[in-house]
Structure 1
Amino acid sequence: MGMIDDLSTSLAGQVNQAAPFVVGVHTGHRPHSGILWRPDVVLASEQTLPRDLSGLSVLRGGQTVGASLAGRDTGTNVAVLKLATPLDGALPSPTPDTSPVGSLALILGADTAGHPTARLAMVHEVGEAWHSMAGGRIDALIRLDCRLAADEGGPVLTPSGALIGMSTAGPRRRTIVIPAATLARVVDPLLTEGRIARGWLGVGLQPVMIPDGFRQSSGRDSGLMVVSLASGAPAQLAGILPGDIVLDIDGTPVSRPRSLAASLGPDRIGQAVALRVLRAGALQTISVTVAARPAS
């Protein structure tokens, strides 16, 4: 029992040390949690915030501070809040490494008064960088073996107290961690611009199988059929038509909308990309100039 007691004491100590940068985020709806990233900046899970944030406030240790939305990004599921009054205390210390499968993770959150809550999880799965359906690049896949509640958006720590990242509910409500590296990369653009600009073609796409008679000539078994075009969007201006099947972009095969979105990062805005399409059985290559996705 000595080792378990020692572990319990150590974890309780880490929660106590982390308490200054664990906050509650209240919007007039269901409360959630956040991370005090800087004395006047809080990070939260974007998907937990309603569109109307007129009653936004942050609670820590029974203290309430007014807050305003500085920026939000659905691609990485990060929202940045600016505090009316800075909060003092310790700030998170990110870990440069991904926690391995089987390691323990502390999921912290805040109760309705802004006092810390905690639960112990295990790292269920890790993987390479990936792109969300909304086109955001997440620097590593980190999945935990638990479900979230009001602690969504709070910090996830190693047992030694280093910040792994921010908890959030991923696809099928599986708990994932937005790594600290991703948080650090998006916080300043969200503070200054309010959003993360990403490339946009303005097409609605549906995965399809290539008809047998065209597989050999196209060199592809599957592609993305254009099912809609935004008026005045780059794809429409370039001559893309409904029913076209996109086979690849700049020579890279695309079989899922996410793979196309992943190739349209901020650095591609203003650049031309070559879309190879199958149109009525004929192959064409169409140049499309990438634009910035319109603000939602």
Structure 2
Amino acid sequence: MFKRMQTVFLLMLGVWLMPPAGAVELPDFTGLVEKNNAAVVNISTTQKIAASEQQQLPEGMEIPEGTPFDDFFRHYFGEGGPGGPGGGGEPGNGSGPSEAKSLGSGFVISQDGFVITNHHVVKDADEIVVRLQDRRELVAKVVGSDKRSDIALLKIDATNLPVVRLGNSDKMRVGEWVLAIGSPFGFEHSVTAGIVSAKGRSLPSDNYVPFIQTDVAINPGNSGGPLFNMDGEVVGVNSQIYSRTGGFMGLSFAIPIEVAMKVADQLKAEGKVSRGWLGVQIQDVTRELAESFGMKKPQGALVSKILPKSPAQEAGLQIGDIITEYNKTEITTSSSLPPLVGMTKIGETANMTVLRQGAVKELKVKIGALPDDDEPVMGSTEQPGAQAVSRLALSVSDLTAEMREQLEVPQNGVLVQEVKPGAAYNAGIRRGDVILQLQDHVIKDAKQFNEVVKGLPKGKSIAVLVQRRGGSIFLAMKLTD
């Protein structure tokens, strides 16, 4: 009897100790780290700073010598503090040239010494030193560096180096585990882990990179280091963090390895990067704009400007077209289009599906090369004799030839002189804007603008195309009277 009770007790205890159904054990990263640690490198750079450009440490602040924070703080404040070179032993002297140092990470992609890191890690550096896990320190030269993708390719004089294995970021799923190895604040070969938070993120300053978002702890010094999947393959290059403090706050972004390698291959072959170019300015389709264009849901990239003599103009693309598909890839948001165009080979013909005034059209466009400087500039001015449009609570005027040249508006459009509270103001129209189009009506002058406004329906969203500071944007306006 006792033995039976003992058996029952042990069985019950086993059931209690069993993990709940569906529970997943936390991963063990030790093997992954042991296999890949040696291929991750620490990168330190030195930049000579003229005395006139030096910043001084805040009064009373001291840098702990010989610590990883030494280089980190001196990267921002230079060596002109008390007792430092150029300081002359007196605080704030800054009488001579100094050196600014910065820290970063990288990883070896070939046994003969090619290393990938971030552009911002090595930018303007006078000397770059790559430190291997075996403590060797080798001076590196920059094969090439690309600001738009934030990728740089370095070369060190070494052979038989350990290398990383490259993976496929497209196969990653949101929620899977990833791991980073780097040198945050100079603490070499630090390992942090987390999950993939999102894919294909677009950041305001980086239109050509579909970032991988993770919650892996990334801090200054991690930049340029590898992001691994659980198979020990590099799927990304850690590049940026979102932070209000300067430190990690739960949002980090990595460049997909496919993007990084395409850039590295071009840098190795040509020393620079060429990207595909369409020659349009685009924006997201909001709920209000979707209503004005008769769409069931907001999606696609709305064309708000077409540059002259661009591939888009030659292909017959029009302002107001909504690009919904590019080479059989659905365009859900405007941010998903630039990376696709940028990775298209120059001279290749791409197929696009666009929505134009409610009708679906198929276009073919021969992709051009992205210019070095594709940022338009716009000025603003005033013109007397403005015409008031009471229904919109604004006043507009015709554009003179001088103003058209300054504002880069070759034809059509009216200049907004004043905006009062009302439908136009609520839509986001402001003084200095040039109104180019109302719904499907191209605005030629102030007189025609008034006539078009009189016929606009109330209670329905109207698409308004305005040019502002060199760029064009569609706004949704709804009239209440």
Q: Does the alignment reach a TM-score above 0.5?
A: yes
Which of structures 1 and 2 has the bigger CA Rg? 2
Aligned-pair distance for 1:106?
4.8
Contact 1:223 1:245 in 2 (8 A): no
Write out per-residue CA displacement over residues 223-248 of structure 1, whole angstroms, 9 at most, x where no aligned residue: 5443333343212344545x423243
Other-structure match for 2:222:
151
Q: RMSD in angstroms over aligned alpha carbons?
A: 4.3
Match 2:181 to one of 95, 98, 107: 107
Q: Displacement, 1:69?
A: 3.5
Q: How does 1:1-296 map to 2 (within 5 A)?
A: 14=34, 18-19=37-38, 21-26=40-45, 28=47, 30-38=102-110, 39-50=112-123, 52-53=124-125, 55-60=126-131, 61=135, 63-72=137-146, 74-75=148-149, 77-83=150-156, 85-86=157-158, 89-94=161-166, 101=175, 103=177, 105-109=179-183, 116-121=188-193, 123-125=194-196, 130=200, 134-136=207-209, 141=212, 143-156=214-227, 162-170=232-240, 172=242, 174-178=251-255, 183-184=260-261, 186-209=263-286, 210=289, 212=291, 214-215=293-294, 221-241=298-318, 243-249=319-325, 254-264=331-341, 265-267=343-345, 269-274=347-352, 276-278=354-356, 287-295=364-372
Q: What is the TM-score of this pair, normalised by structure 1?
A: 0.68
| Matches of 2:34 and 2:224, distance apart in 1 | 18
**Residues 1:239 and 1:66: Cα distance change in structure 2 (over 3 Å):** same
8 Å CA contact 2:285–2:302 kept in 1: the answer is: yes
Question: Counterparts of 1:105 and 1:282 in 2: how far apart (Å)?
Answer: 47
Residue 109 of structure 2 aligns to a residue in which SS?
Answer: strand
CA contact (8 A) 2:143 2:268 kept: no
Q: Give distance in 2, aligned partners of 1:247 and 1:111.
A: 44
Unmatched segments (≥5 aa) in structure 1: 1-6
Structure 1 position 72, deviation (Å): 2.6
* 2:294 maps to amino acid: R
Q: CA distance change for structure 1 residues 71 and 192 in 2, over 3 Å: closer, same or farther? A: farther
Q: CA 1:156–1:286 in 2, change beyond 3 Å: closer, same or farther?
A: closer
| Alignment coverage as a number of residue pairs | 273
What's the CA shift for 1:201?
0.8
Query: Alignment partner of 1:260: what SS?
Result: helix
Q: What is the CA-CA distance between 1:271 and the residue it aligns to?
A: 0.7
Report the Cα distance in structure 2 between the residues aligned to 1:225 and 1:193, rounded to whole angstroms: 34
**CA–CA distance in structure 2, aligned partners of residues 196 and 277 of structure 1:** 32
Of the structure 1 ranges 29-38 and 95-104, higher mean CA displacement relative to structure 2 is found in: 95-104
CA 1:109–1:166: 2 relative to 1, 3 Å:
farther
Q: Is the 8 A contact 1:246 1:254 kept in 2?
A: no
Change (3 A) 1:252 1:147: closer
Q: Which whole-Å CA distance do the structure 2 matches of 1:213 and 1:269 have between them?
A: 35
Query: In the aligned structure 1, how far is the partner of 2:332 from the partner of 2:315?
Result: 21
Letter in 2 for 1:150: G
> Structure 1 counterpart of 2:155, which letter?
K
Decide whether aligned partners of structure 1 residues 79 and 236 sit closer, same or farther in structure 2, where only a CA change above 3 A counts: same
CA offsets, 1:49-107, max 9 Å, x none? 43x45x141231362404123243734x4321233x33654333456786995747352
* TM-score normalised by structure 2 residue count: 0.45
Give the match's secondary structure for 1:116: coil
Measured in 2, the distance between the counterparts of 1:159 and 1:211 equals 41
Shift of 1:256: 2.4
Q: Which amino acid in the other structure matches residue 18 of structure 1?
A: N
Taking the aligned partners of 1:143 and 1:239, their CA distance within structure 2 comes to 40
Q: 1:59 to 1:99 in 2, by over 3 A?
A: farther
Separation in 1 of the partners of 2:172 and 2:352?
36
Native 8 Å contact 1:107 1:167 kept in 2 = no
Contact 2:45 2:102 in 1 (8 A): yes
More strand by share: 1
Q: Percent identity?
A: 19
Q: 1:277 to 1:48 in 2, by over 3 A?
A: farther
Q: Distance in 2 between matches of 1:175 and 1:273?
A: 34
Deviation at 1:198, TM superposition (A): 3.4
Q: Distance in 2 between matches of 1:19 and 1:72?
A: 26
Contact 1:157 1:164 in 2 (8 A): yes
CA distance in 2, matches of 1:33, 1:59: 9
Alignment check: 8 A CA contact 2:180 2:225 kept: no
- CA shift for structure 1 position 191: 0.8
